[in-house]
Amino acid sequence: MRQGCTGRYLEPPAPVLLGLTVLTLVLSSSTPVIGWRPWPNNFASSNGSDPLLGASKKYEGSSEFVHLKYHMGPVLTADITVHAIWYGSWQKSQKKIIREFISSISAANAKHPSVAGWWRTVQLYTDQTEKNITRTVRLGSEKNDRFYSHGKTLTRLDIQSVIKSAVTAKSKPLLINPQSGIYLVLTSGDVYVQDFCRQVCGFHYFTFPSIVGYTLPYAWVGNSGKMCPGVCAYPFAVPEYMTGVKPLKSPNGDVGVDGMISVIGHEVAELATNPLVNAWYAGQDPSFPVEIADLCEGIYGTGGGGSYTGQLMDGHDGATYNMNGIRRRFLVQWVWNHLLNYCSGPNALDQ
């Protein structure tokens, strides 16, 4: 039976922001960077069109507002190794979903449209020598921090301390790989990280040698399944105030982890293109960069823009997704294609 395509309206609550950690944020307690959307987010229609779509639906990223530039910094052209740090209490089934998503980034044999096809847009970005970002993303060594070594309430700087503990552990420390390694800190549903659920669902930056001993690109993503699924796992859960809106069925049966997948994709794509916050971003101020996933916030399919996700797929079991992995299905937001100047997903390049 053919799987159906449907369009979904997404009107994320105000706190749904995948913020980038920037220097001014890490060193102070000031208000975090708020993810900026380049298209108008005004649902009041003045021309009789659908107010949920607004005037931006046709743009799929509204290119007239975007000035993404290369600022001459490095990008990840060497094969990427993702080192995962499982902080807190994680089920084996949850780890399996996330591992398979990361492994699917380089899986050439996945069914179309695929996660690998989505990554091909990220591969279009180059460094000063015109060398492209690698197509290879693999899982590396992992570390379990099941005893909450830094507690259950963490600041942004605490995330770097978690990484330090993992790379300096006496037993099976994580490998240190500044050139092509990225360090992914994943916190379980009972861990609160500064600004989580209120202003961020995940962020990325690089470690400070004064804390970790090395400059390592890293990202943090939290499991919102217990604390705020209607914020960071939307549309697989909806907040109470959005009356009349039904959550979509998650493709892997775990609302919190399925919500994490798109955030992980968002942060890994931005780590590849802007690992030291001096490569690919829009805006003149490096302390307030708008990156390739920020530019496509809320867009998951053709026709997306404003509060409309675009066309998604419905599986035989009723689950909603937009791309295939090795054996699983995922819902992952699109990323900015700087050559075509609009948001792009696997459909454009996954042939």
Q: Give strand ranges (E) for the chain.
A: 4-9, 68-70, 80-87, 137-145, 153-154, 181-187, 192-193, 202-206, 217-222, 280-282, 308-314, 320-321, 323-324, 329-330, 335-337, 342-344
Q: Give strand ranges (E) for 241-286.
A: 280-282
Rg for the chain, CA atoms, rounded: 19
The string of pLDDT tens digits covering residues 166-203 is 999 999 999 999 989 999 999 999 999 999 998 899 99
DSSP 221: E
pLDDT exceeds 90 at position 274: yes
Question: How do 335-337 and 342-344 pair as beta strands?
Answer: antiparallel
Task: Give the predicted TM-score (pTM) of the model.
Answer: 0.84
pLDDT exceeds 60 at position 28: no
E strand or H helix at 120: helix 115-123
